Amino acid sequence: MIEAVVFDLGGTLIEYAGEWTAWPDLETPGFAAAYGYLQAQGTVLPSFDTFREAGFGLLPLRWRGATRGERNLRLAELLGEVTAACGVAVPLAQLFQASKQYEQAISGQAHLMPHARETLALLKWQGYKLGLLSNTMFTGEGHIADLRRYGLLEFFDALLFSADVDKWKPNPEPFWHVLADLGVEAAETAVYVGDDPASDVVGGRSAGMLTVFCVGNGRFPQPDHVIPHAKIDDLAVLPSLLERLNNSK
C-alpha cells in the first residue's frame, strides 16, 4: 500500500517561470534584481546584458555539475562567479544579499499551479505522509516562505531543498533522505510526483519509488526511454490515481 507522496516544487506545485517560456531565460528578473542591488552598493559592473549573459553561460554548467554530484550549487556562490567573470570582486555579504533580491524577484513572478492546494489537502486528509523534494540553488528558507504564502506549508511532513544539503536529483540519495524523514522504510510504498522526467521520473525510479509524471506547463517533454508508472495532466486527478495504484497491488 502507498503510504507517502513526495512532490517536486517548481512547475509541479508552484510555477516560477513568469512570462518566460524557457530556462535559463526565466532567470532574467533574478539577475536584474541582483544587478540592481550590487549597483546600488557602489559596485562597478558592465552592462546588464553582459552580466546576464555571464550568468546564462555559467548557470547551466553549474546546474549539470550539481546534478552529477561534482559540486554543490548555491545562488550566492553563483553570483560570485558571475561577478568574477565580469572582472569584479564582491564581498560575500553583498553576494548573499544580492541572492536574496534574486530569490524575491523570481518568487514575485510565481503563481500556484491549478488544484495544488486542494490536492494536498485531500491527500493529507486521506492519511498520506507528504514530502517535498526540490532541485534548487535557492535557500530552503526562501522556498519555505513561498510555501507559506500559498498556504501549502502546513501539509508537508518533510522538506528537502537540494542546495541546503548538496543532494540533487536524479541521484537516489535525496529521495532516500526525504523518505527517511517521513519514516518510510520501503521506497516502493512511496510515490514521487514531478514535471521533469529526466530528474523526477529517472530519480524516483532510481530510488525504488513509484513515479508520476505531471505534465503541468509542458516545459519538459517525455523521452521515449523514460517511462513513469503513471502520467497526469492535472494534480486534481492524483488522489483517484493513487487509489487505482493501491487497488492494483
Domain of 240: which CATH number?
3.40.50.1000
43 and 162 together in one domain: no
141 and 235 together in one domain: yes
Structural domain range at position 219: 4-16+112-247
For the four alpha carbons of 54, 142, 148 and 2, in that order, the dihedral sign comes to positive
Q: What is the pTM of this model?
A: 0.96
CB 118 within 8 A of CB 236: yes
DSSP secondary structure letters along 161-174: EHHHHT--TTSHHH
Q: Three-class SS of residue 126?
A: coil
72 and 102 together in one domain: yes
75 and 88 together in one domain: yes
In the chain, % of residues over pLDDT 90: 91
pLDDT band with cut points at 50, 70 and 90 for residue 54: very high
104 and 221 together in one domain: no
100 and 222 together in one domain: no
Q: Length of the chain in residues, anyone?
A: 249
83 and 121 together in one domain: no
8 and 58 together in one domain: no
Enclosing H/E stretch for 201: none
**Last residue in a domain, options 83, 108, 133:** 108
The tally of CA atoms less than 13 A away on the side-chain side of residue 158 is 21
Range scoring the smallest mean pLDDT among 116-125, 142-151, 188-197, 222-231 = 222-231
98 and 123 together in one domain: no
> How many domains is the chain partitioned into structurally?
2
Is the previous residue joined to 228 through a cis bond, with omega within 30 degrees of 0?
A: no
**Last residue in a domain, options 108, 133, 162:** 108
187 and 149 together in one domain: yes
127 and 222 together in one domain: yes
pLDDT band with cut points at 50, 70 and 90 for residue 218: confident
**Last residue in a domain, options 75, 108, 141:** 108
Q: What is the pLDDT of residue 249?
A: 61
39 and 70 together in one domain: yes
